[in-house]
Amino acid sequence: MLVELGVVEQRYRAVVEVLEEGTPVTDVARRYGVARQTVHEWLARYAHGGGMAALADRSPRPESCPHQMPALMEARIVGMRRAHPSWGPSRIRWELERQGREPLPGRSSIYRALVRHGLVEAKKRRRRREDYRRWERGRAMELWQMDVMGRVFLAGGEEVKIVTGIDDHSRFIVCARAVLRATARPVCQALAAALARHGVPEQILTDNGKVFTARFGTGPGPVMFDRICTDNGIRHILTAPYSPTTTGKVERLHKTMRAEFFTRNDRTFTTLVDLQEALDEWVMEYNTARPHQSCGGRPPAGRFALADRSLAADTTAATEPPPAPAGQASGRPAGVSRWVNAAGKISLGGFHYNVGATYAGEPVEVVVAGGLVDILHAGVVVATHAQRLREDQADRLPRAQVARRVRDATAGLTVTRLADGAGVISFAGTSYACGRMWARQAIDVSIVGASVQLSKDGKLIRVHPIRHDRSRELGAFANPKGRPRRKNSAIGNVS
């Protein structure tokens, strides 16, 4: 047997000095620069291991590893991954558990086995962002999330859209319909079919797409999607602009659909019908057979089966005939769109018309005919006013405005703030406008209920809803005259 003579020979001489010359172990260890325990280990290996060859370096690998994954189990894992490239460690472990394989390896062990065989790329796990708030409704049919998915192509290169919907609690796919164009009618027909099949949820969450809402559209609204929700008593919730994480569950569904279905079937189907049939089969497997991590490794159908689906859907809005062409006469003249402000008013022709605080933040349609201004919300007249005209628009002058009596300010804890050149004061780190006519004057600030009251000499100027952080009010009231003005020593002025 070949041995490494340099190191082994030194160890052999140390053993000979102890055994034959009778040198104390402590002296030998000091001479060779090792610990006493090391010399004793050399003596034991020389006596019981077979002489000089036993003094060679040994591998630190243990002789056995009781918890090592059996070769048969590793081969089974590799085969499952190659047969289903989209399956990850969690899905493979769930399949092994369903098959009753023992001993069941952990997720990390399966991941390392896949890395060893080059089936996955080893990379550092991305940590979850701590500023994301994870939420989930407490029961099925309480909330649906809906969206439209693009970049799906037929064999001829024609792009189609997928109208998707998922139950927030159970992750059950309630809608997955392929349409040629994601316009209002096809999207609403997909919604109507989902309602007829699965029942009516309490709420539906969507983004601000024009097929879902008239919030940012040019028309007065409501759109067909909103009418279906209203007819069925569904509360339609909209996300904040540019907030895709709010509808994160349906966005995650898009990623899963693309990875497990559309990637391998891209440009495979020649017709929309063929694509829909294959997609329905995948949805059936997703809902009833595929394990879902958010459902404890069980299919979504288990949770969705507990839902109350007794309400019948009203889908008449989706089956209405399309609107008449623009050339045909209408029952009333065309109007213009306006948004109702926080005070419940709209602006038209330089004048304000009252609609009512109930409609604050809602879109309305304004029709002017016969000297009257009709204001319609959802097609229903909610207010009618006499039309007001400027001096250059009519031969007669408008009615003289009646001077309103200034209301006294509400008594309460008050602090004083100095308005800047634009008539804006700062309170609790937030700016509130009082008007340019009050620029560079001392303004009294009070908190009355859920509003900020601005007054001057006991007379009310403006009232704003609270926009500041309520926790900062204590510091604001601690400086009733505001922070001391800092003097500029260079020019002798205050800043």
Q: What is the pLDDT of residues 224-246, one digit of tens each?
A: 898 888 888 888 998 888 888 88
Phi, psi at 223, each rounded to 5°: -80, 170
Q: How confident is the model at residue 380 (pLDDT cuts 50, 70, 90)?
A: confident
Q: How many CB atoms lie within 10 A of CB 425?
A: 24
Q: What is the pLDDT of residues 199-232, one digit of tens each?
A: 889 899 999 888 898 877 766 668 889 888 888 8
Closest CA relative to residue 304, chosen from 331, 320, 286: 286
User: In 100-231, where does DSSP find H-type helix?
Assistant: 107-116, 184-198, 224-231
Closest CA relative to residue 349, chosen from 393, 404, 412: 393
Which sequence spans correspond to the domains of the chain? 5-55, 71-116, 143-304, 336-393, 414-494
Cα–Cα dist 116/121, whole Å: 10
Q: How confident is the model at residue 483 (pLDDT cuts 50, 70, 90)?
A: low
Whole-number pLDDT of residue 406 = 55
User: What mean pLDDT do residues 190-195 have?
Assistant: 92
Give residues with Cβ within 8 angstroms of 205, minimum separation 6: 143, 144, 145, 146, 168, 237, 238, 239, 246, 247
Q: Establish whether domains 71-116 and 143-304 are of one fold.
A: no
Closest CA relative to residue 252, chosen from 138, 136, 158: 136
CA dihedral over 457, 458, 463, 468, signed as positive or negative: positive
Q: Is the pLDDT of residue 449 over 80?
A: no
Torsion region of 378: left, alpha or beta (phi above 0 gives left; psi -120 to 50 gives alpha): left
Q: Is the pLDDT of residue 102 over 50?
A: yes
Q: Kindly report the CA angle at 143 between 142 and 149, in degrees rounded to 5? A: 155
Would you state the torsion angle of the CA atoms of residues 101, 102, 107, 109, taken in this order, to the nearest 10 degrees?
A: -120
Burial class from Cβ neighbours inside 10 Å (0-12, 13-18, 19+) for residue 473 reads middle
Would the pTM count as exceeding 0.75? no
Whole-number pLDDT of residue 179 = 92
Omega of the bond prior to 300 within 30 degrees of 0, cis?
Answer: no
Structure tokens at 289: 């057979």
Asked whether the beta carbons of 293 and 171 are under 8 A apart, the reply is: no
The superfamily in CATH containing domain 143-304 is: Ribonuclease H-like superfamily/Ribonuclease H (3.30.420.10)
Q: How far is CA 273 from the centre of its chain?
A: 32
Whole-number pLDDT of residue 206 = 92
Q: Which residue has the higher pLDDT, 32 or 405?
A: 32
Q: What is the pLDDT of residues 136-167, one digit of tens each?
A: 888 888 999 999 998 899 988 889 999 999 99
Q: What is the pLDDT of residues 333-353, one digit of tens each?
A: 567 888 888 888 998 888 899
Closest CA relative to residue 234, chosen from 208, 211, 215, 212: 212
User: In 380-471, where does DSSP find H-type helix?
Assistant: none
Whole-number pLDDT of residue 278 = 92
Q: How many CB atoms lie within 10 A of CB 216?
A: 11
**CATH class entry, domain 71-116:** mainly alpha
